Amino acid sequence: MTAVLSQTPATAKAAPLILLMIIFIDGLGTALLLPMLPMLLDPGDPAGVVFGSAPTAARTAGLYGVLLAGYAFAMMVGAPLLGALSDRIGRRPTLLLAVTGSVAGYALSTWAVSVGSVGLLIAGRLLGGTFAGSVPVAQTMLVQTPDSAMKRIGWVMFAMTAGFFTGPALTGILLAGHTPGASLLLPLQVALTLSVLCLLMAFLLPSTPAPAATTGPTLIRQVLNGFTSPATRRPLLALLWLQIGWNLFYQYLPWMLARQSQAVGSISLLLTVVGIGMCIAFIWVAGALQTRYPAPQIARAAIPVLVVSCALLAATLDNSLALVFGALAAIAYGVAYTALIGHALACEQSSLRGTVLGIAASLAAGAAAVTALLGGIIGVWGNLLLASLSVAALALSWVILVLGRDRDE
């Protein structure tokens, strides 16, 4: 039921590429906006959304947090519902709905900046986050069997990671030499254009089989059942703590490096190494391991490597060994993430894969939002506490898996 129908051999070959392009553009469009948020919230820039006001530093920081965390929290709610909806009405109709919602979100954000309305900008971010479930729905269309789950999820994460890295770079090019008063609309217009391109590409996808049954529990109950099911609860809980631990470390890695008096070039180099490491894990290592070992075993082996690597990375931020441990941590994270998703999918019936992947996306978004809001508070106490809590969360993820080892094998 989750497979994309191969109406012709050419369609069957093109569908995965189209889905990966949609995921790449979705990630690019989302990350495209992040570097311009400080300019949008600059009260001295006539092109921003708070020009002419006299916001305090606390209010500006609060608006920044709302625009970042609001998107993540909206995705946390929308992704599992869209995933469950795809199990109910089919993958392609749900994907079209999600991408249409994203187009509306970008259109509203563009309008907000053109009229200088911070309220409309927040509404646009919330709308975009709610319909950001196109990624788990596209994942479900790609993951046809549990045997191919880790390899396909690795492709998905590679496409998304590449989009996240490309987006900010593109914004830097589009807004190079920006001066107060100059228009900030171009990146938003590019994001809107890309989202429309996603919608057009989604229409090219072949139809998916109609669900066997469209009745049953409500969407909310279906999502709750997916998370509380004894089969999926453990890998999903492990995934939640993995995301909390990794996000807490990765999001504040530049801050920790700055405290070690590292130059901007050194910070950028380490972040680049980490990004390359994740891409290698997603596109090659995870899939290669899946051909030899079951997903639960891979996850239980990868998470301890991640724990040790993060601890050593935190201890070597002031020297070149950080590059080695950063790469190792990134590869271990990529392998652990894809293995946990594969573990959860193998535990659930194929008709509910959309629900499971939607829940996974929701947990990832929630972890990102919580760590973004709390990391700054925790970080005030220094790098040691920040790194220690990150490592503890990662270790807890491993403990959750180990406690259920006998049932997995």
Same domain as 333, residue 231: yes
* C-alpha torsion angle, residues 319, 286, 157, 304 (rounded to 10): -50
* Per-residue pLDDT, 231: 72
- Residue 2: give the domain boundaries: 1-215
**Computed from CA positions of residues 235, 241, 243, 245, in that sequence, does the dihedral angle turn out positive or negative?**
negative
Based on the domain organization, do 210 and 293 belong to the same domain?
no
Residue 117 DSSP SS3: coil
Query: By CB neighbour count within 10 A (0-12 exposed, 13-18 middle, 19+ buried), where does 352 fall?
Result: buried
279 and 381 together in one domain? yes
Rounded to whole angstroms, the Cα distance separating 284 from 269 reads 22
**240 in the same domain as 95:** no
280 and 209 in one domain?
A: no
Cβ-based neighbour number of residue 332 at 10 Å? 26
**What total of structural domains would you count in the chain?**
2
Does the pLDDT value for residue 214 go beyond 90? no
Residue 245 and residue 391 in contact, taking contact as beta carbons nearer than 8 Å: yes
How distant is the alpha carbon of residue 99 from its chain centre? 16
Based on the fold, state whether residues 128 and 238 are members of the same structural domain: no
256 and 133 within one domain:
no
Same domain (yes/no): 69, 182: yes
Most confident of 41-50, 188-197, 198-207, 370-379: 188-197
Residue 45 in contact with residue 39, Cβ under 8 Å?
yes
Boundary-marking domain end, from 181, 215, 249: 215
- Mean pLDDT over 327-356 rounds to 83
For 202, the token pair is 């989604």
Q: Is pLDDT at 3 greater than 50 in this prediction? A: no
Dihedral sign of CA atoms 374, 275, 342, 325 in order: negative
Query: Which tokens in the block code for residue 90?
Result: 């089919």
What are the percentages of helix, strand and coil residues in the chain, rounded to 5? 80, 0, 20
Domain final residue pick, 169, 189, 215? 215
Q: Which residue, 59, 140, 64, 62, is CA-closest to 95? A: 140
* Same domain, yes or no: 29 and 134: yes
List pLDDT tens digits, range 60-92.
Answer: 767 777 887 788 888 888 888 888 888 888 888
* Range 117-120 contact pairs with CB under 8 angstroms and sequence separation of 24 or more: 117/49, 118/41, 118/49, 118/50, 118/63
Average pLDDT over residues 363-382: 74
Q: What CATH number does the domain containing 336 carry?
A: 1.20.1250.20
| pLDDT confidence band for 245 (50 / 70 / 90) | very high
User: Of the candidates 190, 215, 240, which is a domain's last residue?
Assistant: 215
State the number of CA atoms in the 13 A half-sphere of 371 facing the CB: 25
Mean pLDDT to the nearest integer, 319-341:
93
pLDDT band at 6 (very low <50, low <70, confident <90, very high): very low
Same domain assignment for residues 362 and 378: yes
Residue 241 has pLDDT above 90, yes or no: yes
> pLDDT-based confidence at 351, cuts 50/70/90?
low
Q: What's the 3-state SS for 338-403?
A: HHHHHHHHHHCCHHHHHHHHHHHHHHHHHHHHHHHHHHHHHHCCCHHHHHHHHHHHHHHHHHHHHH
What pLDDT, on a 0 to 100 scale, did the predictor assign at position 4? 41
Reply yes or no on whether the pLDDT at 409 is more than 60: no
CA distance 134 to 141: 11
Same domain, 240 and 203: no
Mean pLDDT of the chain: 81
- The string of DSSP codes covering 293-322 is S-HHHHHHHHHHHHHHHHHHHHHTTTSTHH
The Cα 35–Cα 341 span in angstroms is 30
- Do residue 315 and residue 398 come from a single domain? yes
